[in-house]
Amino acid sequence: MAGAAPYSDERAREIIAAHMGLEGPALPILHALQAEFGFVPDSAVREMANALNISRAEMHGVVTFYHDFHTSPHGRHTLKICRAESCQSMGAEKQANEFLARHKLDWGQTTPDGSLTVEPVYCLGLCAHSPSALYDNEPIGLVDAETLDELVEEAKGK
Protein backbone atom coordinates (compact mmCIF):
# COMPACT_ATOMS: atom_id res chain seq x y z
CA MET A 1 0.00 0.00 0.00
CA ALA A 2 1.30 3.43 -0.96
CA GLY A 3 1.28 6.48 1.21
CA ALA A 4 4.17 6.02 3.60
CA ALA A 5 6.33 8.99 2.55
CA PRO A 6 6.57 11.88 5.03
CA TYR A 7 5.19 15.14 3.70
CA SER A 8 7.40 17.89 2.36
CA ASP A 9 6.41 21.00 0.43
CA GLU A 10 9.29 20.43 -1.90
CA ARG A 11 8.14 16.93 -2.85
CA ALA A 12 4.56 18.16 -3.23
CA ARG A 13 5.78 20.87 -5.62
CA GLU A 14 7.66 18.25 -7.65
CA ILE A 15 4.57 16.09 -7.95
CA ILE A 16 2.44 19.07 -8.95
CA ALA A 17 4.98 20.24 -11.51
CA ALA A 18 5.11 16.80 -13.10
CA HIS A 19 1.41 17.08 -13.97
CA MET A 20 1.20 20.69 -15.08
CA GLY A 21 1.43 19.74 -18.75
CA LEU A 22 -1.98 18.04 -18.57
CA GLU A 23 -5.25 19.73 -19.44
CA GLY A 24 -7.25 19.97 -16.21
CA PRO A 25 -4.52 18.51 -13.96
CA ALA A 26 -6.24 18.76 -10.56
CA LEU A 27 -7.53 15.21 -10.17
CA PRO A 28 -4.37 13.52 -11.45
CA ILE A 29 -2.34 15.68 -9.03
CA LEU A 30 -4.59 14.84 -6.09
CA HIS A 31 -4.37 11.13 -6.85
CA ALA A 32 -0.58 11.39 -7.07
CA LEU A 33 -0.29 13.35 -3.82
CA GLN A 34 -2.47 10.88 -1.99
CA ALA A 35 -0.55 7.93 -3.44
CA GLU A 36 2.68 9.49 -2.15
CA PHE A 37 1.66 10.77 1.30
CA GLY A 38 -1.40 8.67 2.06
CA PHE A 39 -3.57 11.78 2.30
CA VAL A 40 -3.75 15.32 0.96
CA PRO A 41 -2.33 17.64 3.64
CA ASP A 42 -3.48 21.27 3.85
CA SER A 43 -0.01 22.44 2.85
CA ALA A 44 -0.30 20.45 -0.37
CA VAL A 45 -3.68 22.07 -1.03
CA ARG A 46 -1.96 25.46 -0.64
CA GLU A 47 0.79 24.44 -3.07
CA MET A 48 -1.83 23.29 -5.57
CA ALA A 49 -3.81 26.51 -5.28
CA ASN A 50 -0.62 28.45 -6.02
CA ALA A 51 0.33 26.32 -8.98
CA LEU A 52 -3.16 26.29 -10.50
CA ASN A 53 -3.68 29.96 -9.75
CA ILE A 54 -6.96 29.52 -7.89
CA SER A 55 -7.96 30.39 -4.33
CA ARG A 56 -7.23 27.99 -1.48
CA ALA A 57 -10.92 27.88 -0.67
CA GLU A 58 -11.69 26.77 -4.18
CA MET A 59 -8.99 24.10 -4.09
CA HIS A 60 -10.27 22.92 -0.72
CA GLY A 61 -13.74 22.70 -2.24
CA VAL A 62 -12.43 20.34 -4.91
CA VAL A 63 -10.59 18.09 -2.45
CA THR A 64 -13.56 17.73 -0.15
CA PHE A 65 -16.09 17.09 -2.93
CA TYR A 66 -14.70 13.66 -3.75
CA HIS A 67 -15.09 10.62 -1.49
CA ASP A 68 -11.62 9.33 -2.40
CA PHE A 69 -9.56 12.23 -1.09
CA HIS A 70 -8.96 12.77 2.61
CA THR A 71 -7.18 15.60 4.35
CA SER A 72 -5.94 13.59 7.33
CA PRO A 73 -4.08 10.26 7.42
CA HIS A 74 -6.06 7.04 7.10
CA GLY A 75 -5.10 3.51 8.05
CA ARG A 76 -2.22 1.84 6.27
CA HIS A 77 -4.76 -0.37 4.49
CA THR A 78 -8.27 0.26 3.29
CA LEU A 79 -11.17 -2.14 3.21
CA LYS A 80 -14.09 -1.02 1.11
CA ILE A 81 -17.26 -3.00 1.66
CA CYS A 82 -20.00 -2.75 -0.95
CA ARG A 83 -23.39 -1.58 0.30
CA ALA A 84 -25.14 -1.11 -3.02
CA GLU A 85 -28.33 -2.88 -4.09
CA SER A 86 -26.93 -6.05 -5.62
CA CYS A 87 -24.78 -6.76 -2.61
CA GLN A 88 -27.74 -5.97 -0.36
CA SER A 89 -29.77 -8.59 -2.23
CA MET A 90 -27.27 -11.11 -0.86
CA GLY A 91 -27.30 -9.86 2.72
CA ALA A 92 -24.42 -7.37 2.59
CA GLU A 93 -26.02 -4.87 4.94
CA LYS A 94 -26.45 -7.35 7.78
CA GLN A 95 -23.00 -8.81 7.23
CA ALA A 96 -21.35 -5.38 7.24
CA ASN A 97 -23.20 -4.22 10.34
CA GLU A 98 -22.21 -7.35 12.22
CA PHE A 99 -18.61 -6.95 11.08
CA LEU A 100 -18.48 -3.33 12.21
CA ALA A 101 -20.01 -4.27 15.57
CA ARG A 102 -17.52 -7.13 16.06
CA HIS A 103 -14.60 -4.78 15.56
CA LYS A 104 -16.20 -1.82 17.33
CA LEU A 105 -15.91 0.34 14.22
CA ASP A 106 -18.18 2.61 12.28
CA TRP A 107 -18.06 3.40 8.55
CA GLY A 108 -15.04 5.58 7.79
CA GLN A 109 -13.23 4.69 10.98
CA THR A 110 -9.73 3.29 11.42
CA THR A 111 -8.70 0.52 13.79
CA PRO A 112 -6.97 1.91 16.92
CA ASP A 113 -3.56 0.62 15.77
CA GLY A 114 -3.89 2.58 12.54
CA SER A 115 -3.69 -0.49 10.33
CA LEU A 116 -7.08 -0.49 8.61
CA THR A 117 -9.75 1.99 7.56
CA VAL A 118 -13.18 0.61 6.70
CA GLU A 119 -15.22 2.47 4.12
CA PRO A 120 -18.53 1.88 2.40
CA VAL A 121 -18.48 1.66 -1.38
CA TYR A 122 -21.44 1.74 -3.74
CA CYS A 123 -20.79 -0.98 -6.28
CA LEU A 124 -17.51 -2.48 -7.38
CA GLY A 125 -18.88 -3.99 -10.59
CA LEU A 126 -18.64 -7.43 -9.00
CA CYS A 127 -22.39 -7.75 -8.63
CA ALA A 128 -22.60 -11.27 -10.04
CA HIS A 129 -20.50 -12.25 -7.00
CA SER A 130 -22.33 -10.22 -4.39
CA PRO A 131 -21.53 -9.48 -1.64
CA SER A 132 -18.13 -8.08 -2.49
CA ALA A 133 -15.29 -5.96 -1.14
CA LEU A 134 -12.04 -4.29 -2.14
CA TYR A 135 -8.97 -4.61 0.07
CA ASP A 136 -6.47 -1.96 -1.05
CA ASN A 137 -6.56 -2.82 -4.78
CA GLU A 138 -7.55 -6.45 -4.40
CA PRO A 139 -11.14 -7.30 -5.37
CA ILE A 140 -12.95 -10.00 -3.40
CA GLY A 141 -16.13 -11.70 -4.56
CA LEU A 142 -18.62 -13.64 -2.39
CA VAL A 143 -17.03 -12.11 0.67
CA ASP A 144 -18.03 -13.69 3.98
CA ALA A 145 -17.58 -12.86 7.66
CA GLU A 146 -14.52 -15.08 7.97
CA THR A 147 -12.71 -13.36 5.09
CA LEU A 148 -13.51 -9.92 6.48
CA ASP A 149 -12.09 -10.89 9.86
CA GLU A 150 -8.97 -12.34 8.22
CA LEU A 151 -8.38 -9.05 6.43
CA VAL A 152 -8.39 -7.19 9.75
CA GLU A 153 -5.67 -9.58 10.95
CA GLU A 154 -3.74 -9.34 7.70
CA ALA A 155 -3.74 -5.55 7.86
CA LYS A 156 -2.22 -5.67 11.35
CA GLY A 157 0.70 -7.74 10.10
CA LYS A 158 1.95 -5.21 7.58
Partner 1 sequence: MTKIYIPLDMAAVAMGADRLAAAVAKEAAARGLTIEIVRNGSRGMLWLEPLIEVETPAGRVGYGPAKAKDVASLFEAGFLTGGAHPLNIGVVDEHPWMKRQNRFTFVRCGIIDPLSVAEYEAHGGFVGLKRAFELGAPAVIEEVTKSGLRGRGGAGFPTGIKWKTVADAPADRRYVVVNADEGDSGTFADRMIMEGDPLSLIEGMIICGYAIKGSKGYVYLRSEYPVVAKVFQAAIEKAREAGWLGDNIKGSGFDFDVELRIGAGAYVCGEETSLLESLEGKRGIVRAKPPLPAHVGLFGKPTVVNNVLSMATIPMILEKGAKHYADLGVGRSRGTMPLQIAGNVKYGGLFETDFGIPLGAIVNDIAGGTRSGRPVKAVQVGGPLGAYVPVSLFDLPFDYEAFAAKDSLIGHGGLVVFDDTVDMLWMARFGMEFCAIESCGKCTPCRIGSTRGVETIDKISKGQDVEKNIELLKDLCHTMKFGSLCALGGFAPYPVESALRHFPEDFRKPALEAAE
Give the span between the Cα atoms of 60 and 155, in whole angstroms: 30
Q: Are 135 and 77 in contact (CB under 8 A)?
A: yes
Residue ranges in 17-36 that form contacts with partner 1 under rule CB under 8 A: 22-28, 30-31
Q: Could you give the C-alpha distances from 45 to 22, 38, 63, in angstroms and in order?
A: 18, 14, 8
Task: Name the 3-class secondary structure at 19.
Answer: helix
Taking the least distance from each CB to ligand FES, the nearer of 82 and 118 is 82
Which residues make up the interface to ligand FES (CB under 6 A)? Answer: 82, 84-87, 123-127, 130, 132
* Binding status of residue 98 toward partner 1 by CB under 8 A: no
Taking the least distance from each CB to partner 1, the nearer of 68 and 113 is 68
Task: Name the 3-class secondary structure at 120.
Answer: strand
* Binding status of residue 140 toward partner 1 by CB under 8 A: yes
Residue 44 binding: pick among partner 1, ligand FES, none (C-beta 5-8 Å cut-off by kind): none
Closest distance to ligand FES from the beta carbon of 96 (Å): 11
β-strands 116-121, 77-82 pairing: parallel
* Binding status of residue 94 toward partner 1 by CB under 8 A: no
